[in-house]
Amino acid sequence: MSVLVHLCRVCGHQSAWHEGGNGGYTPCWCCRAGTADPDPAPTLLPTTSSPHGIPEELWQPGTQRNAGTMHASRTCACAACREAAEGMAAGTTRREHPLAAPRLVGLSGR
Ligand SMILES: [Zn+2]
Ligand SMILES: [Zn+2]
Ligand SMILES: [Zn+2]
């Protein structure tokens, strides 16, 4: 699943990497210091499903990820992220599925 993240303007890593406990996983001095300078505009981290390379759906802002594991986290739900998610939903990812239309033909006689 693709996610929207805020990147640190100092080191370019996700602001979440600067939070407590995650610093041990990276050699980055900025992340280890625990003080991010997050860019207010979210960045899309696209993921693709293997093996077909199809772009995956976007986690909606505020979604709980990996609940119940040590990697549990919640996607950012700030105004900028919501706006970006809505823009994507209204744009390229939106498509009318023919099966979504109500089918009334043929119901009355059976
Ligand atoms: Zn940083
Ligand atoms: Zn960093
Ligand atoms: Zn955000």
Question: Per the structure, how many domains does the chain have?
Answer: 1
Residue 109 lies in a domain: no
Choice between 21 and 89, residue whose per-residue pLDDT is larger = 89
pLDDT top residue among 93 and 77: 77
Neighbours of ion ligand 3 (CB under 5 A): 42, 76, 78, 81
Residues 88-94 have a mean pLDDT of 65
Angle at 31 between CA 27 and CA 32, to 5 degrees: 70
- Res 36 pLDDT > 80: yes
Both structure tokens of 68 = 């119940």
Average per-residue pLDDT in the chain?
Answer: 80
17 lies in some domain: yes
- Would 48 be classed as within a structural domain? yes
Residue 56 domain-assigned (yes or no): yes
Cα 4 to ligand 3 centre (Å): 7
Who wins on pLDDT, 95 or 47?
47
Q: How far is the centre of ligand 1, averaged over its atoms, from the C-alpha of 79 (Å)?
A: 22
With 0.95 as the threshold, say if the pTM is over it.
no
Buried (b) or exposed (e) across 24-39, using 16+ Cβ within 10 A? eeeebebbeeeebebe
Within a domain: 107? no
Give the residue with greater pLDDT, 9 vs 59: 9
| Domain extent at residue 32 | 3-91
